[in-house]
Amino acid sequence: MAQEQENGLRRYGNLINGVWQDAVQGEVLTLKNPSDSSDLALIARGTRADIDLAVTSARNALSGAWGKLTATERGRILHKISEAVLHEIDLLTVLEARDVGKPLTQARADVVALARYLEFYGASADKVHGDTLPYQNGFTVLSVYEPHGVTGHIIPWNYPMQILGRSLGAALAMGNAAVVKPAEEACLTILEFARIAHEAGLPAGALNVVTGLGVEAGAALSSHPDVNHISFTGSLRTGEAVQAAAAKNAVPVTLELGGKSPQIVFADADIERALPFLVNAGIQNAGQTCSASSRILVQRDVYEQVIAGMSERYRALKVGAAEADLSLGPVVSARQKAIVEDYLKLAEQDGLQIAAQGELAADAPENGAYVRPTLLRDVPPQHRLAQEEIFGPVQVIMPFDTEEEAVALANSTPYGLVCGVWTKDGARQLRMAHAVQAGQVFINNYGAGGGIELPFGGVKRSGHGREKGFEALYGFASLKTISVYHG
Ligand code: NAD
């Protein structure tokens, strides 16, 4: 296995056809630990040549041992991998904490979620079935679901294990063979997962992992003529490039992009119950969550009360090293920190008012990519901080008067991923659920992250296609109609 030591650092290769190998061009990239900027590991800098090998390996797996398995057998393998993942929970937790900067508790929850995706899709593998269709006399017509073939999975750095679990779990359950391109910022748990999956019995070639830069390995995967489906999670800009590249080969694409998701608090809401959700959904994973609730819209009667409650919680937030397991770790990189700080500078320049901030722990390592969580109040709805995805621990809060105004504000960004609504009025709950533009609506709760069973995805610029839940399986399959004339 190409996991050797080099200058005291572990060096990972690509996993292609069940074999660890260095990048064809022999180059490596260095991963950093964002808690203190130390070097963490070396990964292969894969390019088009490595993607070619991986796609060929996946194609061969479809006509080999993997392609010959029944749906039940595929499901059993996914179950075994799920158990093996839980068996290695301690290793995966620490690696994710060091690689992404997640506090240990969050990293551990992500391992559990990965295992749960595999359990869910393992159990679903033999439940997808087609239909018989009424047609002319003398005919029997069937519809059957078939795997697309080779699926490409381009994964971001914020939740490597969870996002891998949801798309790979569904793709393998449906009988596809996968090529995964993890993010260059954080990918160690995906590489360890690939090892675990093979040790648990996944046939060679069903899963291939090629690390490297987005513009090299990622672009090669999304434009590859022998890939049949692309699942992309990441930024809007890259999503556009991936969709355009796949369009040249007429390949279907699932895009899970960003968000500026609101939580809307009406005056009749149970504010005490809402408060932890209002704050946690904004600062979890240092705000680097696609479904983060970065906008809080509050009916004017309770506006000051909600600001006071959130501010108290903000002041109790502690930021520090991932392994210190505080409320927040660092953001993923110095680059991401600079992006978030630029937004905070803009807020200051434009006179936006800080309602409250969390604290940096006294022992937080000096070179870590730390950002103090910040709640900004009275932010004008058209301000860039109220419109753009910051992808850091920054929330904006603003007042509204009427239900119509709340809907207009909620729908006023280019995004439409998730929305939370807090009210005890049952009719308003449903009116709001229908009126807001979002792929998921939570009434009196908020928590897209953990919902393995719940279809997830966006409208507008948040993307298209659904992952998670049973529904996602259909996205990883192609429907064939078989018409039989028998007289
Ligand atoms: P990103 O778009 O820069 O990178 C995502 C992945 O795409 C990485 O693996 C990267 O290597 C690859 N990539 C980069 N350029 C590419 C190219 N030209 N062709 C093909 N692949 C390429 O995004 P990021 O900075 O890693 O992640 C943050 C963004 O992802 C945020 O905007 C966030 O909202 C979004 N996100 C969305 C979801 C969701 O489910 N909707 C989940 C997590 C993150």
Amino acid found at 249: N
With a 6 Å cutoff on the Cβ, whether 289 touches ligand 1 is: no
What is the Cα–Cα distance from 428 to 71, expressed in whole angstroms? 44
User: Among 29, 154, 167, 230, which is best to mutate for testing ligand 1, by the most ligand atoms less than 8 A from CB?
Assistant: 154
With a 6 Å cutoff on the Cβ, whether 118 touches ligand 1 is: no
Burial class (CB in 10 A: 0-12, 13-18, 19+), 11: middle
Task: Quote the ligand 1 centre to 180 CA distance (angstroms).
Answer: 13
Rounded to a whole number of angstroms, the distance between the first and last alpha carbons of the chain is: 59
CATH superfamily of the 262-447 domain: Aldehyde Dehydrogenase; Chain A, domain 2 (3.40.309.10)
Tell me whether residue 453 is one of the annotated catalytic residues: no
Amino acid found at 223: S
Q: What is the pLDDT of residue 1?
A: 44
3-state class of 90 per DSSP?
Answer: helix
Task: Quote the ligand 1 centre to 335 CA distance (angstroms).
Answer: 14
CA angle 376, 380, 383 (to 5 degrees): 90
DSSP 117-150: HHHHHHHHTTT---EEE--STTEEEEEEEEE-SE
Instruction: Decide if 479 contacts 144 (C-beta within 8 A).
Output: yes
3-state class of 155 per DSSP?
Answer: coil
What is the Cα–Cα distance from 433 to 423, expressed in whole angstroms? 11
Task: Quote the ligand 1 centre to 273 CA distance (angstroms).
Answer: 33
> How distant, in Å, are the alpha carbons of 96, 127, 133, 276, 314 from that of 158?
10, 31, 44, 22, 22
Task: Quote the ligand 1 centre to 234 CA distance (angstroms).
Answer: 2
How many residues are there in the chain? 487
Q: What is the pLDDT of residue 4?
A: 66
Sequence spans of domains, the chain? 4-258+466-481, 262-447
From 96, 192, 216, 256, the catalytic residue = 256
Tell me the pLDDT of the chain (487 aa) as tens digits. Answer: 446 677 779 999 999 999 999 999 999 999 999 999 999 999 999 999 999 999 999 999 999 999 999 999 999 999 999 999 999 999 999 999 999 999 999 999 999 999 999 999 999 999 999 999 999 999 999 999 999 999 999 999 999 999 999 999 999 999 999 999 999 999 999 999 999 999 999 999 999 999 999 999 999 999 999 999 999 999 999 999 999 999 999 999 999 999 999 999 999 999 999 999 999 999 999 999 999 999 999 999 999 999 999 999 999 999 999 999 999 999 999 999 999 999 999 999 999 999 999 999 999 999 999 999 999 999 999 999 999 999 999 999 999 999 999 999 999 999 999 999 999 999 999 999 999 999 999 999 998 556 899 999 999 999 999 999 999 999 999 999 999 999 9
Q: 464 pairs with which residues across the strands?
A: 255
What is the Cα–Cα distance from 154 to 282, expressed in whole angstroms? 25
CB burial readout 424-436, b (16+ within 10 A) else e: eeeebbeebeebb
Residues 6+ apart with CB under 8 A from 267: 299, 301, 302
Instruction: Decide if 166 contacts 117 (C-beta within 8 A).
Output: yes
What is the Cα–Cα distance from 485 to 487, expressed in whole angstroms? 6
With a 6 Å cutoff on the Cβ, whether 181 touches ligand 1 is: yes
Atom number in ligand 1 closest to CA 182: 9
Q: What is the pLDDT of residue 448?
A: 54
CATH superfamily of the 4-258+466-481 domain: Aldehyde Dehydrogenase; Chain A, domain 1 (3.40.605.10)
Instruction: Decide if 392 contacts 286 (C-beta within 8 A).
Output: yes
Query: What's the predicted TM-score (pTM) here?
Result: 0.97
Q: 441 pairs with which residues across the strands?
A: 419
Atom number in ligand 1 closest to CA 417: 41
Q: Quick one: residue 478, left, alpha or beta (phi over 0 = left, psi -120 to 50 = alpha)?
A: beta
User: Among 155, 213, 238, which is best to mutate for testing ligand 1, by the most ligand atoms less than 8 A from CB?
Assistant: 238
With a 6 Å cutoff on the Cβ, whether 415 touches ligand 1 is: no
Q: What is the pLDDT of residue 305?
A: 98
DSSP code at position 287: G
Amino acid found at 94: V
Q: What is the pLDDT of residue 334?
A: 97
Amino acid found at 443: I
